[in-house]
Amino acid sequence: MAGHSQFKNIMHRKGRQDAARSKLFSKLSKEITVAAKVGGSDVDGNPRLRLAIQNAKAQSMPKDNIERAIKKSEGGDSDNYEEIRYEGYGPGGVAVIVEALTDNRNRTASAVRAIFSKYGGNLGETGSVSFMFDRVGEIVYPADAGDAETVLEAAIEAGAEDVQSDENGHIVTCVFEDLNDVSQGLEGALGEAQTVRPIWRPQTNTPVDEDRARTLMNLIGALDDDDDVQNVYSNFEVSDEIMARLTAA
């Protein structure tokens, strides 16, 4: 499993502080607003909005917040967010992809560039690292959704490509274009997923030592903390032993 995925899972298992949860809700709200503005507020006719709402519910985001985010998209004075992807390298040649929603391109570009520089990375041109990743759909279920065989059978029936199961849960991947159909098929068999989203999956991972892993985790954490950044992906990989030391409280 890629280092960033491990890092995020550990963060979720430890729980988030109130300030972090507020920031998470803000990012989820922004995605709901943009999805509704682009594709309309009809959930049945807007797969992106349906997925955004599902992910918000999975994070226990209040219904009022969700409805407010949708209504914001219908107002003439709503912010015009632009979707931007930044690509670059972290320490050790690790590839990093940053997805942002911003109403000020210059502000976001400056902030992302500064974070890369602070942690020994370099921001590159669009396309400089994305060729090393595949754009796929990812659907995550908790361990109690079913045993590995049950989830695998449901995933095959729904048209998924792969399933990874362990004691923490199940990660189902599918072709990016099939994400909505596969998630609906799985929902019928297993219930509502924890998260349903498109991701950038690395084709190969780059092993790093403990020092570089620490710096990379700080880099990714700083990017995640930026209000304009929605998602961060990377292809670094560390051993379980190193990860345990780095995340020990």
Where along the chain do its domains lie? 3-74
Q: What is the pLDDT of residue 16?
A: 43
Q: What is the pLDDT of residue 23?
A: 87
CA dihedral 173, 245, 233, 98 (to 10 degrees): 160
- CA 23/CA 180 separation, integer angstroms: 26
User: CB count, 10 Å around CB of 79?
Assistant: 16
The fold for domain 3-74 equals: Arc Repressor Mutant, subunit A (1.10.10)
Q: What is the DSSP string of 38-94?
A: HH-S-GGG-HHHHHHHHHHHHTT--HHHHHHHHHHHHSTT----EEEEEEEE-GGG-
CA dihedral 225, 4, 243, 238 (to 10 degrees): -140
- CA 53/CA 103 separation, integer angstroms: 22
Q: What is the pLDDT of residue 78?
A: 59
Tens digit of pLDDT per residue, the chain (249 long)?
Answer: 344 454 544 444 444 456 678 888 999 999 999 999 989 989 888 999 999 998 999 888 999 999 999 998 887 655 788 999 999 999 989 999 999 999 999 999 999 999 999 999 999 999 999 999 999 999 999 999 999 999 999 999 999 999 999 999 999 999 999 999 999 999 999 998 989 999 999 999 999 999 999 999 999 999 999 999 999 999 999 888 888 888 774
In 3D, which of 115, 160, 123 has the Cα closest to residue 141?
160
Q: What is the pLDDT of residue 228?
A: 95
